[in-house]
Amino acid sequence: MKHYENLRDAFELCDAIGSPVRLEILEHIQSDKATNLDTLAKSLRLTNGALTKHIKKLEDVGLIKVTTTKGKRGYQKQCSINQDAILIDVSNEVVGIGGDAAELPIGLYSDFSVSGHSGLTSVSGYIGLRDEREAFLSPSRAQAAALWLEKGSLTYLLPEFRRKKAIEEISFTAEMSPDFIGGGKIDGSRISFVLNDTGLGSCEIFAPQADRRGFLNPEWYDSKLPQFGSLHTLRITRKGSFLDGEKLSGQTLSLIGKPERITLATESGLMLFGAGFGDYNSHIRIAVTYSE
């Protein structure tokens, strides 16, 4: 996987694929897995000179690789895809209009309860022992880039936001998936949400269908554990509480009061992906908008 941390770094890549001809070249190479240049030129009805210029541009940004192999009549050049995925970080921060934003590391929970299959990992290795509650007490939990629990809850204290204005809406966005309980795959899991001491409701989240590793996962990470999740957004507004647009309850901020802590709980498995793991390279993102 090729990872760009901002749009400017990805400019040359975007320029390279911003051509119908080069997109068609990539599609041909994808379908054939590896293609020699002569065959490719004939298929696309391009001269060898024109094709060579397009190939060089795709090769320069690392999308394809060109190798020389021995054929029946001398040597020939073969093209193949060099990247299985590309990740571009469009923004490192979610900001509401007229509001505030913050990112909350997934390992900085203020309280927790775990039982059964559970664990934490940083980008460099597992934290403590897997399936041991004590791992969640480790000071190294601050470096957690992914964590999972079969049953239990995680509570996070929220940062201080502006006190002079009333909060109109608060949202939480995180990459989540069901846990693989005992190493066996499950398709869905029910997650409950609590703001302060008020239950907002629960909703089922489902495992992604693609069978692959997470774009950001290191090679040593256990392939039997969940590899990536989907982005889910919890919103508490004047009209109620919603997860991904589905209404959970009629609980509003006017009924709850100042947001101080958020709790995620499950009886059927939950995995959270933070920065450096999964697909999206971010921890829990919080966005707040205010009344005028």
Asked if 69 and 105 sit in the same domain, the reply is: no
Asked if 116 and 78 sit in the same domain, the reply is: no
Number of domains in the chain: 2
Domain boundary (48, 68, 86) is at 86
pTM of the model: 0.70
Asked if 176 and 214 sit in the same domain, the reply is: yes
Asked if 71 and 122 sit in the same domain, the reply is: no
Asked if 51 and 112 sit in the same domain, the reply is: no
Q: What is the pLDDT of residue 93?
A: 45
Q: What is the pLDDT of residue 95?
A: 42
Q: What is the pLDDT of residue 26?
A: 87
Asked if 78 and 141 sit in the same domain, the reply is: no
CATH number where 70 lies: 1.10.10.10
226: phi then psi, degrees, rounded to nearest 5:
-55, 140
3-state secondary structure of 26: helix
CATH number where 235 lies: 2.60.120.260
Asked if 101 and 81 sit in the same domain, the reply is: no
Averages of pLDDT over each 10 residues, the chain, 292 residues: 73 85 86 79 86 90 85 77 74 51 93 93 94 94 95 93 77 89 68 95 85 88 88 92 92 88 94 93 90 72
Asked if 161 and 119 sit in the same domain, the reply is: yes
DSSP state of 191: E
Domain of 44? 2-86
Asked if 76 and 20 sit in the same domain, the reply is: yes
For 98: left if phi > 0, alpha if psi spans -120 to 50, otherwise beta; the answer is left
Asked if 126 and 253 sit in the same domain, the reply is: yes
Asked if 23 and 162 sit in the same domain, the reply is: no
The answer to whether 49 touches 14, Cβ cutoff 8 Å, is no
DSSP state of 158: P
Type of residue at 97: I
**Tens digit of pLDDT for each residue in 245-258?**
889 999 998 888 88
Asked if 125 and 263 sit in the same domain, the reply is: yes
Residue 101, both tokens? 């934003």
3-state secondary structure of 232: strand
24: phi then psi, degrees, rounded to nearest 5:
-65, -35
Q: State the residue for tokens 């040359």.
A: 12
